[in-house]
Structure 1
Amino acid sequence: MDPKYSAQDILICDLCQRAALQSHCELCHVNLCINCVGKHLSDSSKRHNVVPYKQRTSVPNYPKCPNHTQKHCELYCEKCDLHVCSTCLSSGNHKGHDLSDALQRLRIKLKDLQKDLKELEKKIYPTYEEIASGLNYEKENIDKHYEKLTTAVTKQGEELHREINIIENNLKSEIEEMKTKHLAALHEQEKQMNMITSDVKQSILDLKKILDSNDISITSEYTSRNAEFRCLPPKMKVSISSFSPHQINTEQLHQMFGSLSALSITTEKHGYTMETPEAVSCSPVKLLLDEPEIITTIDIEYDYLYSVTCLSEEEMWTCGKDRIMKLYNLQGKLLKSIQTKSGNLPRDIAVSKNGDLVYTDPDAKTVNKVKNKKIKEVIRVQGWIPYYVCSTSSGDLLVTMNSDDGEQSKVVRYTGSTEKQTIQFDNKGEPMYASGYYKYVCENRNLDICVADWGAYAVVVVNRSGKFRFKYTGRPSSTAKESFYPYSITTDSQSQILTADCADHCVHILDQDGEFLRYIDNCYLQYPWDLCVDTRDNLFVAECYRHKLKKIKYMKDTQ
């Protein structure tokens, strides 16, 4: 580091590079010692204004010209990509080149630094912290899981006699070895995550230091590491072992005792990506149209139309007050019909990551998947009633449920048939959602979980870990609607949240942080019941009582 800028060294004269500085020429931007003041003033070819160093006015610290040591570079040559002084210009080496003021370039560079700092503080660092927190949570629950395995093995062993003690002990040893490997793998990933998190934190400190320095040289030399930090390390994928006991048979004791499935520790990409500040997941930036417009209107063969979800840009699954779910194209042609397995009415539908139809059956307390016209029960619950469902970017299912007595509500994440996450209470132990009522759910592009909580008159949004982010209760202004009854909800490529206000016959559009952007209320909507958005950000609105499906264009194609 240049000793002039080191906090541990004495600031020295710019001319002799030896003695401590005491004065400053405000016109030449040069720091001087006592001995060099006279030498500097002897140059009568230009004006000088030497003042004590502590009394100098705040001026930009222009970089010194490498070719003309007495000069500072107040301009920047765009073609040559370097700072230049007035003498460099008079030499003719930059004749015809585009020049800009060094301060102007500094301001542009500082804006880039501010963006990097904001992304590091608001996006990257919190993401790494969240991942590290998740690893701690896994570690805290490892003992419980492996304790269950050990208990199962012990119970099976107690029913046998002394001749199987060796087998029992061997299996326990395997469990302990698996546990050790599992913990070691988690510890190693946690260690790696902490190292990267530390680097991110250090980058934040470095950026703040640069921003405070007002130093063009250091600022110009800054190289962003944000792209490096956006590339998250591989996520560890663990196939946790389970114990499979068998009926006791003394003749086949070794085979009948049971076995542990192997512990599998691999890595995979995280189920979410780091978005750049300018666009989510590299999606092109789109702007809202001044006036949304209806592209087409389709009559759907239901008395009441309850739900719609896009299979493609041309085909939409629908369900209503009927046990049959129907697939339509944009011309209104019925392409396919599927009757529920139980004969009950479906409450909500979604399309899985693989393109399969998923529907909820509240009466049977099941969530089902349709593949090649065959219906498979995926989830069955007890004590709770599954109502609304969505498929996430990772292939999981998010299901909103009410308790049998209607006193509690929650959102549950399933991977296949396995419950992976429950969102029910906030960090104070209070219910996250109103009891009972309708609760459509969707996942945003930033992996937030968004719920239209009709009973709370609010849109409730939590992050991927279930931590509360914000609650939207309608636009707080004199032009807002008098009441807010959010019914269904969906999101688009810009992470904007769209929710249907059924009672006021409109759609609210929010940004990903819950700020109101606009209404869609000029498309003759009547009781908009459900919403979905296709891959081109066209909005589909299901009008319940008129059993009509409207396709609405509300965003410009590109910026």
Structure 2
Amino acid sequence: MMYRFVLQKSVTVTGVSRVCHITRVSSDRVWISDIDNLILSNTAGDKLHHLTDIRSIWGGHTVNNDGDLIYIDSEYNINKLSIENTVKTPLIKYNTAPWEPLSVYSSPSTGDLLVAMYNTDTDTGKLVRYNSTGEHIQTIQYNNNTGQGLYREPIYITENRNGDVIVSDLDRVVVTDRGGSHRFSYTGHPSGSGLLPHGICTDALSHILVCDYNTQSVQMLDRDGHFLSQIQTSPHGIDTPRGLSYDDNTHLLWVGSRYNNTVNIYRVVDRDSLTGK
């Protein structure tokens, strides 16, 4: 089945200079970050709340099932901010140099926190799973079949409906099952053609959507890594898509630009829906 992306709305977001990452709170509110700022915005682009104590170059924030913000601060610690944006609670304190947290993701299915770590000495990465209170549960680092490291620089994380953990790495998308066993890696379409993945998410049908700097597009894969479709975002004002988020309730895809504060909102439909079949 072929899919198409229909532009619904373009939003200029107040308070950021670019869009590094998008985290949905509800259908009308999202957290959006650039390098120095993390703001809560509505669908009109208004700034509703503003944080500067962040490290959000990559996927440095997420929202848990209660609607609380979880983010990496400037000291590499992970904090929780209540949904009312009034109470900050430290969750995980990092003093494990040369390992640095690059990205954090709250699992909707388990409530666990997944943290992507990068080792500045060895140029390798790993994923660490914690429960909702910050207790260590699991480390995913090596390919169970080859013994080689799975990650180089894991910068964005998401999870699929079947429990798969999906990571944008340096030049590929790496997918493991919930237990940490490697399922597949996606390296572009056709395979091996080149990929520079950034923002990543999944939709209600377990499709994987990923921003690719190499093709200046958002690519859609099925849950097993087979290419389905893509959108070239530059005709719609998005040069180099970077931030990405999908809303299961409205079936809308939010795409943010690396170079400006524009977010485009698309409806994802199959070809038959467009042709009336």
Task: Place the TM-score, normalised by the shorter chain, in its bin.
Answer: 0.7 to 0.9
Superposition CA RMSD, Å: 2.2
Q: CA deviation at 1:463?
A: 0.3
2:261 paired residue number: 547
1:420 paired residue number: 137
SS of the residue aligned with 1:503?
A: coil
Q: CA deviation at 1:288?
A: 5.5
The answer to which structure, 1 or 2, has the higher relative contact order (CA under 8 A, 6+ apart) is 2
Given the alignment of the two structures, is residue 325 of structure 1 paired with residue 38 of structure 2, yes or no? Answer: yes
The two structures have a TM-score, normalised by structure 1, of: 0.44
Given the alignment of the two structures, is residue 395 of structure 1 paired with residue 105 of structure 2, yes or no? Answer: no
CA distance in 1, matches of 2:175, 2:187: 12
Q: 1:321 and 1:365, CA in 2 relative to 1: closer, same or farther beyond 3 A? A: closer
Q: Is the Cα contact below 8 Å between 1:438 and 1:487 reproduced in 2?
A: no
Q: CA deviation at 1:394?
A: 1.1
Q: C-alpha offsets along residues 481-510 of structure 1, whole Å, 9 cap, x if unaligned?
A: x53211121101111000100232101100
Q: CA deviation at 1:303?
A: 2.2
Q: CA deviation at 1:345?
A: 3.7
CA distance in 1, matches of 2:78, 2:194: 33
SS of the residue aligned with 2:20?
A: strand
Given the alignment of the two structures, is residue 352 of structure 1 paired with residue 60 of structure 2, yes or no? Answer: no
CA distance in 2, matches of 1:429, 1:397: 25
2:210 paired residue number: 499
* Among candidates 27, 31, 45, match of residue 313 of structure 1: 27
CA distance in 2, matches of 1:519, 1:445: 21
Given the alignment of the two structures, is residue 509 of structure 1 paired with residue 220 of structure 2, yes or no? Answer: yes
1:89 paired residue number: none
Q: C-alpha offsets along residues 410-445 of structure 1, whole Å, 9 cap, x if unaligned?
A: 0111102111010001123210112xx452111111
The two structures have a TM-score, normalised by structure 2, of: 0.87
CA distance in 2, matches of 1:469, 1:345: 30
Q: CA deviation at 1:406?
A: 4.7
2:87 paired residue number: 374
Q: Is the Cα contact below 8 Å between 2:154 and 2:167 reproduced in 1?
A: no
* Among candidates 457, 481, 487, match of residue 198 of structure 2: 487
CA distance in 1, matches of 2:211, 2:159: 16
Moved more, 547-556 or 492-501: 547-556
CA distance in 2, matches of 1:541, 1:401: 25
Structure 1: runs of 5 or more not aligned: 1-286
Given the alignment of the two structures, is residue 473 of structure 1 paired with residue 187 of structure 2, yes or no? Answer: yes
Q: Is the Cα contact below 8 Å between 2:157 and 2:166 reproduced in 1?
A: yes
Q: CA deviation at 1:387?
A: 1.0
Q: Is the Cα contact below 8 Å between 1:360 and 1:366 reproduced in 2?
A: yes
Instruction: Look up the equivalent residue of 1:402 and give its one-letter code.
Output: Y
CA distance in 2, matches of 1:503, 1:431: 24
Instruction: Look up the equivalent residue of 2:112 and give its one-letter code.
Output: D
SS of the residue aligned with 1:311?
A: strand
Moved more, 346-355 or 464-473: 346-355
Moved more, 403-412 or 376-385: 403-412
SS of the residue aligned with 1:484?
A: coil
CA distance in 1, matches of 2:2, 2:25: 24
2:18 paired residue number: 304
Instruction: Look up the equivalent residue of 2:246 and give its one-letter code.
Output: V
Instruction: Look up the equivalent residue of 1:388 and give its one-letter code.
Output: S
CA distance in 2, matches of 1:302, 1:400: 24
If you compute each CA radius of gyration, which structure gives the higher value, 1 or 2? Answer: 1
Instruction: Look up the equivalent residue of 2:66 and give its one-letter code.
Output: N
Q: 1:465 and 1:309, CA in 2 relative to 1: closer, same or farther beyond 3 A? A: same
Q: Sequence identity of aligned pairs in percent?
A: 32
CA distance in 2, matches of 1:491, 1:474: 17
Structure 2: runs of 5 or more not aligned: none
Q: CA deviation at 1:537?
A: 2.4
Instruction: Look up the equivalent residue of 2:56 and give its one-letter code.
Output: P
SS of the residue aligned with 2:126?
A: strand
CA distance in 2, matches of 1:345, 1:514: 30
